[in-house]
Amino acid sequence: MNLKLKVWRQRGSGDRGRLVEYEAKNISPDVSFLEMLDIVNEELTRKNVEPVAFDHDCREGICGTCSLMVNGIAHGPRRATTACQLHLRHFKDGDTITIEPWHAKAFPVIKDLVVDRSAFDRIVQAGGFISVNTGGVPEANTIPVPKRTADRAMDAAACIGCGACVASCKNASAMLFVAAKVSHLALLPQGQAEKKERVQKMVAQMDKEGFGACTNQYECEAVCPKEISVSFIAKMNREYLKSSI
């Protein structure tokens, strides 16, 4: 396959940034999107051109660091798929592909396609800890949890914190991410002791980081690689209101 790439190049948060055109020639349709970028970078290096900086780690759809806008869609055109799991067979020979970083005030660009998502870390840290007995290993059935509740909590826990929800939202809202983290612990018995304080602190930190408000247009759910439901936002709102009374 031969592809034309329009890649966002930016030296840092102080740089304006621009799209630069590159060619990806004779690429196998079976390689992943990030492997294609590796091949392009190898060619740029041979030409003494600075390679394109992009973030990655596990390349298995687990870590969430492969934060790329592909043709204007967070993680690309495949639903429930991270950028590292996206393969070139889902594109056509001769296609033009535009590759950009997350564009959000709360995610400043570090370089090229790499953004600083430490705002998410600070939101999680604001939630604090849970009070649990740290003695011997408890018997599995000591605290019975209904299967429906356990499944729901696991659905929320599936969030990998990639930031696609923020990147796709016109308001750069982090509501889906925060709602998943709040709901995960609010559903389980272990998270009950601090749940009122937790939701208040995490929402306050979200606002402090500069994320926008939610207008319920569901872009976040549409691009989430783990298909986190917007119903968790409703749950977080209920938790927040109850904790405010």
Query: For residue range 103-140, what is the model confidence (pLDDT) as tens digits?
Result: 999 999 999 999 999 999 999 999 998 887 667 766 76
In this predicted structure, what is the pLDDT of residue 118? 98
Shared-domain flag, residues 105 and 146: no
Q: Is the dihedral of CA 183, 187, 192, 196 positive or negative?
A: positive
Shared-domain flag, residues 104 and 131: no
What's the average model confidence in pLDDT over 205-218? 97
Chosen domain end from 61, 77, 110: 110
Shared-domain flag, residues 92 and 15: yes
Shared-domain flag, residues 169 and 225: yes
Virtual torsion, Cα 100, 163, 55, 50, nearest 10 deg:
30
What's the average model confidence in pLDDT over 158-170? 98
In this predicted structure, what is the pLDDT of residue 134? 67
Q: How far apart are CA 75 and CA 67, in angstroms?
A: 7
Chosen domain end from 88, 110, 132: 110
H helix intervals, the chain: 33-46, 118-126, 147-157, 164-168, 175-187, 195-208, 219-223, 231-244
Shared-domain flag, residues 97 and 193: no
Mean pLDDT, the chain, whole residue set: 95
Shared-domain flag, residues 125 and 223: yes
Prediction pTM value: 0.94
| CATH number of the domain that residue 85 is part of | 3.10.20.30
Tell me which residue range forms the domain holding 95: 3-110
No. of H helices and E strands in the chain? 8, 7
pLDDT tier, 143 (very low <50, low <70, confident <90, very high otherwise): confident
Shared-domain flag, residues 123 and 234: yes
Shared-domain flag, residues 84 and 139: no
In this predicted structure, what is the pLDDT of residue 131? 81
Q: How many folded domains does the chain comprise?
A: 2
Say whether pLDDT at 32 is over 80.
Answer: yes
Shared-domain flag, residues 134 and 105: no
What's the average model confidence in pLDDT over 200-211? 98
Shared-domain flag, residues 86 and 139: no
Q: How far apart are CA 179 and CA 156, in angstroms?
A: 8
Chosen domain end from 110, 145, 163: 110
| CATH number of the domain that residue 214 is part of | 1.10.1060.10
Shared-domain flag, residues 169 and 69: no
Shared-domain flag, residues 56 and 160: no
Q: How far apart are CA 243 and CA 75, in angstroms?
A: 35
